Amino acid sequence: MKNSTIELILERRSVRHFQNKPISDDLIMQIVNCGMFAPSARDRQNWHFTVVTNPNTIEEINRLTLLGMERLGIEKEEGYHVFYHAPLVIVLSSIIEGYSEINAGCAIENMALAAKALGLDSCIIGQTRYMYHQANIVDINRLLKIPLGYEHDLSICFGYSEGDYPEAKPRKDNLVDYIK
Ligand SMILES: Cc1cc2nc3c(=O)[nH]c(=O)nc-3n(C[C@H](O)[C@H](O)[C@H](O)COP(=O)(O)O)c2cc1C
């Protein structure tokens, strides 16, 4: 039996080429709302979403992340852009307590799937954590409007896909056991 939700989940890919096309506020609000409707342990909703469409801020996050990666000796090809020049970045942070990272993971996947349902694509970006290896935590959290007591978890960028849509990666074997 075909099911559109299951098809959507199976068709989502991490997209790394985006059109130079802005995303409307209406779509952004729907994506964020789906993030906020993710489940969270004990309904703590202990997350914070920083929605960045300001190109200067996106470039600054990219710059700081690349500097952090450089400092750690992580090599990247010339011209690498952490967000692949996507027009929308959402930075997730949370109050660090039990399950908060898992909650953030639930929120981020909800947003990735919501974006796909709205005709957009996305790529989850863990690399933004590297910013903290170069720049000052207070300065970064101020730049990203991360509230006091919250810590950056990870980011996700969105845009309209450009070029060939990525193939699904092969799934590993022997990762499931059934106990009947
Ligand atoms: C927690 C997390 C962090 C990730 N960080 C990055 C990243 O920094 N840069 C990137 O290009 N992709 C990143 N990805 C995307 C993965 O590389 C991608 O999900 C994986 O290769 C499988 O491909 P698919 O999403 O198309 O199925 C991340 C994914 C997750 C779940």
Segment 12-71, tens digit of pLDDT: 999 999 999 999 999 999 999 999 999 999 999 999 999 999 999 999 999 999 999 999
**What rounded mean pLDDT belongs to the chain?**
97
169 CB near ligand 1 (under 6 Å)? yes
Give pTM, 2 decimals. Answer: 0.97
CA of 123 to the centre of ligand 1 (A): 6
Of ligand 1's listed atoms, the one at least distance from the Cα of 13 is 26
* Tens of pLDDT, residues 63-107: 999 999 999 999 999 999 999 999 999 999 999 999 999 999 999
Q: What is the pLDDT of residue 135?
A: 83
Which stretches within 52-158 are classed as H helix? 55-71, 100-117, 137-143
First to last CA, the chain: 24
Mean pLDDT, residues 135-162 taken together: 96
What are the structural domains of the chain? 13-159 (3.40.109.10)
The mean per-residue pLDDT over the stretch 150-158 comes to 97
Mean pLDDT of 135-151: 95
Is it the case that residue 134 has pLDDT exceeding 90? Answer: no
* pLDDT category of residue 147 using cuts at 50, 70 and 90: very high
Pairing type for strands 121-125 and 47-52 reads unpaired
For residue 145, the model assigns a pLDDT of 97
* Residue 114 CA neighbour count, 13 Å, CB half: 21
127 lines ligand 1 (CB under 6 A): yes
What pLDDT does 151 receive? 96
How far does the centroid of ligand 1 lie from the alpha carbon of residue 124, in Å?
A: 5
Q: Is residue 166 in contact with ligand 1, taking CB distance under 6 Å?
A: yes
Q: Residue 164: what residue type? A: D
